[in-house]
Amino acid sequence: METTTTVREQILDHAITLIMLRGYNGFSYRDLSSLVGVKTSSIHYYFPSKDDLVLEAVSEYSKEVLNALHAVDASLSADAKLSKYAKLFGRTLGDGNQICLCGMLAADIESLPDTIRQAVQAFFKANESWLAKVLAQGAQEGTLAVNGKPDNAARALFAAFQGSVLAARLFHTKARLEDVEASVRIAR
């Protein structure tokens, strides 16, 4: 099957990859130009400013991740759901030393306009709320160790995942992600 990929889509995909690798200030239209094979002026045709491009990158990335979360089988046990989540978070790491796009942009947030901040905030909230449900389920099942209220614990857990991909890439090991998973899983 032949999948048609428009130039616009290629630009956006490579932009997402580059942001996850080097951050907002670490890639340029020229980088995209050589990756996609069109001139920088053509990129400006699709995305007039860099902020336009990044905002769309956040939207696209968020859509993909949230779709993946929604696709997790609701009938699974809480600790199984958490494993899926950890795998999702670590996937990009192995392929190319990338971290979560929204975690990266959170680091770059002081260089970015408010529109992007809001989009990144929305991504954080969606993940935290998904994790809160999983933690609540895990507490009820007795499969996950939840200290305090699920909402608070979910925010702490999401932060731990964000921090752990940073460390995983820094140390070239996925073990850091497993540490986070282990910190809430009840040993059997």
The one of DNA, a second copy, none whose footprint includes residue 72, by CB under 5 to 8 A per kind, is none
The encoded tokens of residue 95 equal: 């392929």
Q: How far is the CB of 119 from a second copy (least distance, A)?
A: 11
Q: Exposed, middle or buried: residue 95 (CB in 10 Å: 0-12, 13-18, 19+)?
A: exposed
The one of a second copy, DNA, none whose footprint includes residue 158, by CB under 5 to 8 A per kind, is a second copy
Between residues 42 and 83, which has the closer beta carbon with respect to a second copy?
Answer: 83
Q: Does 87 interact with DNA (rule: CB under 7 A)? A: no
Residues 11 and 17: their CA atoms lie apart, in Å, by 10
Are 54 and 105 spatial neighbours (Cβ–Cβ below 8 Å)? yes
The one of a second copy, DNA, none whose footprint includes residue 167, by CB under 5 to 8 A per kind, is a second copy
Interface residues for DNA in 47-66 (CB under 7 A)? 48-51
The mark string for 147-186 relative to DNA (x by CB under 7 A, - otherwise) is ----------------------------------------
The one of DNA, a second copy, none whose footprint includes residue 38, by CB under 5 to 8 A per kind, is DNA
SS3 category, 144: strand
Are 78 and 137 spatial neighbours (Cβ–Cβ below 8 Å)? yes
The one of DNA, a second copy, none whose footprint includes residue 7, by CB under 5 to 8 A per kind, is DNA
Q: How far is the CB of 110 from DNA (least distance, A)?
A: 14
Are 93 and 188 spatial neighbours (Cβ–Cβ below 8 Å)? no
Q: How far is the CB of 162 from DNA (least distance, A)?
A: 24
Q: Does 22 interact with DNA (rule: CB under 7 A)? A: no
Between residues 7 and 139, which has the closer beta carbon with respect to a second copy?
Answer: 139
DSSP codes of every residue in 19-67: HHHH-GGG--HHHHHHHHTS-HHHHHHHSSSHHHHHHHHHHHHHHHHHH
Closest CA to 116 of 98, 99, 101: 101
Binding footprint of DNA on the chain (CB under 7 A):
7, 27-31, 37-42, 44-46, 48-51
